[in-house]
Copies of this chain bind each other. A is one copy, B any other.
């Protein structure tokens, strides 16, 4: 099969299409003919050598895809060859075939194309597991998401608004602010010109739940802007890994700092998340209340350009790659 390989680590130019051996569906897995995959920031880290795939995962990048079932491994029930699906992967989406545990499959939501469906699994599973399962965002609470027009951000805004939360976000430009507000954010904060702590306090008195991709760089201000009982959930470290934590402030607020990732979770935990997403998010997608936001669709051959797009951070929503 064809796959994007990493003969070395570095900038986007190391991404190399090559002919490689086909994967095989092990027990409990299915083999997919991949139709589309999508780019995640973790793929960029993996390309640079900062994010080793977990043990047992494919060596090729790609944390989600859509496609058709080509073969069923031993013991897989409920799916048939030819079914159109999308899937949460622990790697290997940048390839014409991928093997995936059956618990990580989702049907293509009614009304969505296979290509659009490739943009959903990572953002839906990440947002649902962190904002709703872990942080238990409640209706009426204030939710702040950093990177409001990232793939994660666009899904987080929509799901939190639908849940009845007050939603604020940070963005890098006025164009992005308009996009985030059109998705339902009450106020998109242009972090280059505004201090998010000040704006969130002014608008809403503070945040009950924060979904953060900046890590160390935002840690002190995130803690500052939390309200009593607040939950900060760190899922990215784009602003560094070691930050100063003001435990007196955290204690005074009876607040918590969580940090999580999806990729390294055991298969059973991923299946539980996928099941919850199917029950809670898919109906909203099929009803048209929540949609995948796709910045653009490129052929897999343009994978280098796709990575450069994410690095330039001018995109809004997901960058999808088709095979």
Contact = CB atoms under 8 A, between A and B. Distances in A.
A8 interface: no
A273 to B, nearest CB: 12
B241 A248 contact: yes
A178 interface: no
Contact of A261 (B215, B245, B254, B256): B254
A234 B259 contact: no
Contacts of A241: 246-248
Contact of A256 (B219, B251, B253, B258): B258
Nearest to A244: B242
Nearest to A266: B228
Given A251-B259, A255-B259, A257-B257, A245 B219 contact: yes
A264 interface: yes
A250 B264 contact: no
A265 interface: yes
Nearest to A253: B259
A260 interface: yes
A252 B242 contact: no
A280 to B, nearest CB: 21
A138 B244 CA distance: 30
A69 interface: no
A237 B257 contact: no
A259 B264 contact: no
A32 to B, nearest CB: 27
A260 B265 contact: no
Given A215-B247, A248-B241, A259 B254 contact: yes
B245 A264 contact: no
Contacts of A253: 259
B252 A264 contact: yes
Contacts of A259: 247, 250-251, 253-256
Contacts of A215: 247-248
A247 to B, nearest CB: 5
A321 to B, nearest CB: 26
Interface of A: 215-216, 219, 234-235, 237, 241-248, 250-261, 264-265
The 3 A-B residue pairs with the shortest CB-CB distance, nearest first, are A251-B259, A241-B248, A250-B259
Given A242-B244, A256-B256, A256-B259, 11 more contacts: A215-B247, A215-B248, A234-B251, A237-B247, A242-B247, A247-B259, A250-B257, A250-B258, A251-B261, A253-B259, A257-B257
